[in-house]
Amino acid sequence: MSKQLQHDQISFYDETLKKHIEGSYRTDGKTVYVSSVVYGITSAPRGDLGTFPDQNGVDLLAEKLLRQLAHDVSKSGKGADAH
């Protein structure tokens, strides 16, 4: 029996970048996978940035990962489509 992956949308305003950031994430219970058409993809172990035993914690980790992606892209000036 395979594990079902949860898939949720992320949407928030980043005050530092002055941009609305959107993406999605899924988790297999061990790792959180974040993706954005604009900013790319990344992942981290579920407890990588602290212990997140509940859904709110997973949501916060996904938002933090997407925020890091957006800031990295902003610093480099490259989007997900850049080579």
pLDDT at 80: 58
The model carries a pTM of 0.78
Residue 52's contacts (CB-CB under 8 Å, 6 or more residues apart) are: 46, 58, 60, 61
Backbone angles phi, psi at 76, to 5 degrees: -85, -20
Token pair listed for 27 = 């988790």
User: For the segment 24-61, what is each residue's pLDDT rounded down to a tens digit?
Assistant: 999 888 889 999 999 999 999 876 656 656 788 888 88
Q: Is the pLDDT of residue 82 over 50?
A: no
Dihedral (CA of 50, 67, 76, 40) sign: positive
Domain boundaries, the chain: 6-72
